[in-house]
Amino acid sequence: MKYILIVFFLCSTIFAKELPTITVGSKPFTEGYITSEIIAQIIENVGEARVVRKFGLGGTGVVFSALENQEIDIYPEYTGTISEAILKQKNLKTISEIQKALEVKSMTTSESFGFNNTYALALKRDYSEFKHLVSMSDLKNFQTIKGGFSHEFLDRADGFRAMSNHYNIELKNKVSMQHALAYEALKNKQVELIEVYSTDAKIEKFNLRILKDDKNFFPKYLAVILTSKSFVKKYPKTWKVLTDKLVGKIDTREMIKLNALVELEGKTIKQAANYFLNIKSSGESFGIFKRIRPLLIEHLEMVAFSLIAATIFGIIAGVFASKFKFFAQFILLITGLFQTIPSLALLCFLIPLVGIGKPPAYVALFLYGLLPIVRNTYSGIQSIDPKLKEYSQILGMSSLEKIFHVELPLASRHIMSGIKTSAVINVGTTTLAAFIGAGGLGDLIVSGLTLNDHRVILMGAIPSALLALAIHYFFELLDLIVIPRGLRIGEK
């Protein structure tokens, strides 16, 4: 029996080695999630590799540096973003120009999926048909149309004014309004023309038509796959299937439909991807606990391990500070400094150093956990009655004996309250770690924010608040074990 198990174990490790993993990233908004999920499912179906999903990474900077550091292998990006935000070369217009510029970074893209997610002008479909208003050039004949535009669009140099010049039109009847209100205003006929993002799910919902940008004014944000050249070389079959199934296969209407499935019809990202790939959705049950449990465990792991490290290091640093007055201010200053860096910023700073996912989360949580523990250990030891310190000197205690027999036990109340503070802070900070792909309950909060679904946000936020409470009470109990009874009865 033993031998069979060993053979089985060997086989399974060999088998596992044979199947490499591909990590798929995504940005934190609906369209990013959907296109990434489609890519992930295609790769899984090809079967050359296992897929790890790191979705909802916080913005272009994070997701692209993750790709550069090989934390992820592949993700969908927009041509406009690549040329302006990543390469910072606005003059790159075509995909082949972009591919050429990416060569220095040993990266490449696929051709366009087909849809273009950019600014666009939209109006009601029936109005458009009735007035034969289909392209932006047609606006010349409708210069009194009532327009409702966002402040940003009206103010930007490459926005409304540039557009008016480009098409040589003058729309006088315009009001500025909040973007979210524009759809409602259009529905209620307070305005007739609004600016939209061209793949917005609401275009479908409100039955709008997008005016054709026939003189190519708006920059192109064509979706492509962004990956490294080595990926294409390593997985030729996967790459071919990806391009076959995606390039030219998602037009703007299709993308609007997919976005609408998730944002308006309450389908999951997986279901939307299945819909596009013509896969019958398995009747997935999304039991709340089934979804929360693994994330809660992940969350707890991050808090626990970072806290253990911060406790060990923090106590050592605190004791050190109390022994060497010269270093005390220095140590407190440094650990205090970490506390002042906003958590999301700290997480982002760490990406170039330790990548995305768990490592930067652990480092950041560790650094945040330090200060309360160091400070409390230090002040706990400082506040010990000098007579007792003197008596330990009379007894001829060595430094270590002093630390373990006298200083740590007498400072234990202080130290424990420092650890408690760190633990509660870390439960909260850990939710932000989802932005850099570390997982945990923050995953639910991030995707809830993206999908504008309060239920999902609460599914993440409530357990995390309860966890903070539970940890608080856990430490109250731990006090009874760690803090010597002689000190506790003294305080009552």
Partner 1 sequence: MITLSDVQVKFDQLTIFDHLQLEFESNKTHVLLGPSGCGKTTILRLISGLLKPTKGEIFLDDKNITQIEQKDRSSLLGFMVQEGGLFPHLTIRDNILLPGILHKKDLTCLKTRLKELVEMVQLDPLHLNRYPIELSGGQKQRAALIRALILDPPVLLMDEPMSALDPLVRMSLQKSLKVVFNELKKTVILVTHSLNEASFFAHETYLLNSGKIEQRGSFEEILKNPATEFARDFINSQVPLV
399 binds partner 1 (CB under 8 A): no
Encode the chain in three state secondary structure: CHHHHHHHHHHHHHHHHHCCEEEEECCCCHHHHHHHHHHHHHHHHHCCCEEEEECCCCHHHHHHHHHHCCCCCEEEEEHHHHHHHHCCCCCCCCHHHHHHHHHHHCEEECCCCECECCEEEEEEHHHHHHHCCCEHHHHHHHCCCCEEECHHHHHCCCCHHHHHHHHCCCCCCEEECCHHHHHHHHHCCCCCEEEEECCCHHHHHCCEEECECCCCCCCCCEEEEEEEHHHHHHCHHHHHHHHHHHCCCECHHHHHHHHHHHHCCCCCHHHHHHHHCCCCCCCCCCCHHHHHHHHHHHHHHHHHHHHHHHHHHHHHHHHHHHHCHHHHHHHHHHHHHHHHCCHHHHHHHHHHHHCCCHHHHHHHHHHHHHHHHHHHHHHHHHCCCHHHHHHHHHCCCCHHHHHHHHHHHHHHHHHHHHHHHHHHHHHHHHHHHHHHCCCCCHHHHHHHHHCCCHHHHHHHHHHHHHHHHHHHHHHHHHHHHHCCHHHHHHHC
Q: Which is nearer to partner 1, 124 or 413 (CB)?
A: 413
- Exactly one of 191, 410, 415, 445 binds partner 1 (CB under 8 A); which one? 410
- Exactly one of 9, 324, 349, 391 binds partner 1 (CB under 8 A); which one? 391
Span from 142-150, 291-299, 313-321, 406-414 in contact with partner 1 (CB under 8 A) = 406-414
Judged by CB under 8 A, the number of residues near partner 1 is 22
Span from 66-74, 253-261, 283-291, 404-412 in contact with partner 1 (CB under 8 A) = 404-412
Exposed / middle / buried, residue 12 (Cβ in 10 Å: 0-12, 13-18, 19+): exposed
394 binds partner 1 (CB under 8 A): yes
Q: CA geometry: angle at 67 spanning 220 and 111, to 5°?
A: 35
- Exactly one of 126, 129, 401, 476 binds partner 1 (CB under 8 A); which one? 401
Q: Which is nearer to partner 1, 397 or 458 (CB)?
A: 397
Span from 235-243, 402-410, 448-456, 463-471 in contact with partner 1 (CB under 8 A) = 402-410
484 binds partner 1 (CB under 8 A): yes
156 binds partner 1 (CB under 8 A): no
Shortest Cβ 310–partner 1 spacing (Å): 24
405 binds partner 1 (CB under 8 A): yes
Q: Which is nearer to partner 1, 196 or 410 (CB)?
A: 410
Shortest Cβ 444–partner 1 spacing (Å): 44
Shortest Cβ 396–partner 1 spacing (Å): 3
Span from 212-220, 244-252, 337-345, 395-403 in contact with partner 1 (CB under 8 A) = 395-403
- Exactly one of 279, 388, 462, 470 binds partner 1 (CB under 8 A); which one? 388
Shortest Cβ 487–partner 1 spacing (Å): 5
- Exactly one of 363, 367, 406, 438 binds partner 1 (CB under 8 A); which one? 406
486 binds partner 1 (CB under 8 A): yes
Shortest Cβ 489–partner 1 spacing (Å): 6
- Exactly one of 283, 287, 342, 396 binds partner 1 (CB under 8 A); which one? 396
Span from 3-11, 93-101, 192-200, 409-417 in contact with partner 1 (CB under 8 A) = 409-417
Shortest Cβ 478–partner 1 spacing (Å): 16
- Exactly one of 103, 158, 390, 476 binds partner 1 (CB under 8 A); which one? 390
Shortest Cβ 407–partner 1 spacing (Å): 11
180 binds partner 1 (CB under 8 A): no
What is the sign of the dihedral through the CA atoms of 384, 390, 395 and 396?
positive
Residues that bind partner 1 (CB under 8 A): 387-388, 390-391, 393-398, 401, 405-406, 409-410, 412, 484-487, 489-490
